[in-house]
């Protein structure tokens, strides 16, 4: 019997309230046999009530809309309506002879065309939309950042009727697989470099950058390398294989501070009360200077490294019109 560590996604919290516009992220360590527990939410942030679609955990019983019409959430009614618009037509709707299942598709976040893993999921708590699925060993051994697409699918053709998106970060550890080290900096590595902890952020009392902010910055740095000129097909990397950690950290930090610049610029509000003026969100200029400093380090390194690798691939001879002149002078001597 396999024992899996149950991991729940990290939701961005603001004043003890989940930030629904942020992408939810789950973080596990490389080599860990883990199962992810995820709560499906609708566009308004409310849990998707699956009790109407999944009478049993396996989802093997057909859906009886007469029996469950008072327990279905709006999201479920939208799914049913997509199958048969007559459910909104009134009268006594007939039972829906359809089997539903939860399917999870996992892809590398930086290279979507690379391998995709498909795993089944079970409904752990239908009322609150909680599902569980096991992380494939190939993913947990590999390391890197992955996109999760959790879909409510028709059993007949596996076509999704509802898709919930999230991120999975598999952080490097000594329990690696495939005999290849994962070079990606961990979230702790990044927070340590910029001192982003609740104890060091004295004015805020909480971390400034969410897990989603950090993972997005990690992925965008690798994408920028792959897209920068000259394009070197032999040196296209992923979050699992990018080998230069220190420059990578510089770009990650630059991305994070640039995000903060946008946030502080958008939310600046100078107030005056009792003769005292203040604006604790007027930090955009200072953050912009920091972002530019780290970004300059990254760009200088990227330009030199790309040229170095490009020259290293060079083969052949370069002719010069001066070669004949040199030979003629040699003969005259």
Least confident of 5-14, 118-127, 169-178, 255-264: 5-14
**Residue bearing the bigger pLDDT, 274 or 135:** 135
Residues 268-297: b if buried by 16+ CB within 10 A, e if exposed: eeeeeeeeeeeeeeebbeebbebbeebbeb
User: The CATH number of 5-171 is which of 2.40.128.50, 3.40.50.2300, 2.60.40.3350, 1.20.1530.20?
Assistant: 2.60.40.3350
**pLDDT tens, position by position, 151-165:** 988 777 888 878 888
Residues 313-327: b if buried by 16+ CB within 10 A, e if exposed: eeeeeeeeeeeeeee
DSSP code of residue 316: S
Q: Is the pLDDT of residue 325 over 50?
A: yes
Q: Is the pLDDT of residue 13 over 70?
A: no
* pTM given for the model: 0.77
Report yes or no: 118 and 138 within 8 Å, Cβ to Cβ. Answer: no
**pLDDT tens, position by position, 68-108:** 444 455 555 565 555 555 544 555 544 555 677 889 999 99
What beta strand segments (E) does the chain contain? 5-7, 13-14, 17-18, 25-29, 34-39, 100-108, 117-125, 130-134, 144-154, 160-171, 271-273, 276-278
For residue 67, name the pLDDT band (cuts at 50, 70, 90): very low
pLDDT at 304 (0 to 100):
93
**Cα 333 from Cα 323, distance rounded (Å):** 16
Query: How many helices (H) and strands (E) would you count in the chain?
Result: 8, 12
Altogether, the residues listed in the chain come to a count of: 333
Helix axis angle for 187-194 and 245-267, nearest 10°, is 70
For residue 62, name the pLDDT band (cuts at 50, 70, 90): very low
Handedness of CA 222, 227, 232, 234 (dihedral sign): positive
Domain boundaries in the chain? 5-171, 187-312
- The SS3 assignment for 131 reads strand
Least confident of 136-145, 227-236, 265-274: 265-274
């Amino acid at each position: 019997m396999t024992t899996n560590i149950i991991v729940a996604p990290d939701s961005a919290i603001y004043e003890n309230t989940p930030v629904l516009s942020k992408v939810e992220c789950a973080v596990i360590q490389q080599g860990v046999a883990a199962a992810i527990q995820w709560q499906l939410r609708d566009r308004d942030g409310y849990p998707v009530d699956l009790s109407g679609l999944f009478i049993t955990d396996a989802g093997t019983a057909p859906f009886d809309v007469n029996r469950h019409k008072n327990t279905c959430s709006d999201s479920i009614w939208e799914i049913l309506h997509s199958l048969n618009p007559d459910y909104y037509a009134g009268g006594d709707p007939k039972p829906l002879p359809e089997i539903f299942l939860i399917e999870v598709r996992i892809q590398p976040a930086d290279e979507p065309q690379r391998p995709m893993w498909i795993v089944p999921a079970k409904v752990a708590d239908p009322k609150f939309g909680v599902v569980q699925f096991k992380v494939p060993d190939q993913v947990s051994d590999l390391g890197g950042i992955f996109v999760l697409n959790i879909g409510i699918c028709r059993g007949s053709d596996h076509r999704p009727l509802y898709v919930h998106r999230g991120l999975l970060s598999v952080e490097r550890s000594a329990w690696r697989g495939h005999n290849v080290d994962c070079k990606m900096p961990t979230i702790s590595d990044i927070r340590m470099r910029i001192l982003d902890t609740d104890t060091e952020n004295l004015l805020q009392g909480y971390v400034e950058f969410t897990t989603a902010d950090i993972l997005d910055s990690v992925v965008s740095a690798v994408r920028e390398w792959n897209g920068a000129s000259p394009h070197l097909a032999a040196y296209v990397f992923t979050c699992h294989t990018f080998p230069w950690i220190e420059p990578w950290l510089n770009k990650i930090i630059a991305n994070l501070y640039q995000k903060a610049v946008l946030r502080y610029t958008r939310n600046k509000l100078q107030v005056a009360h009792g003769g005292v003026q203040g604006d604790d969100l007027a930090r955009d200029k200072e953050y912009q200077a920091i972002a530019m400093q780290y970004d300059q380090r990254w760009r200088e390194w990227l330009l030199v490294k790309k040229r170095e690798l490009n020259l290293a691939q060079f083969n052949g001879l370069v002719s010069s019109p001066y070669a004949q002149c040199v030979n003629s002078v040699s003969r005259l001597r």
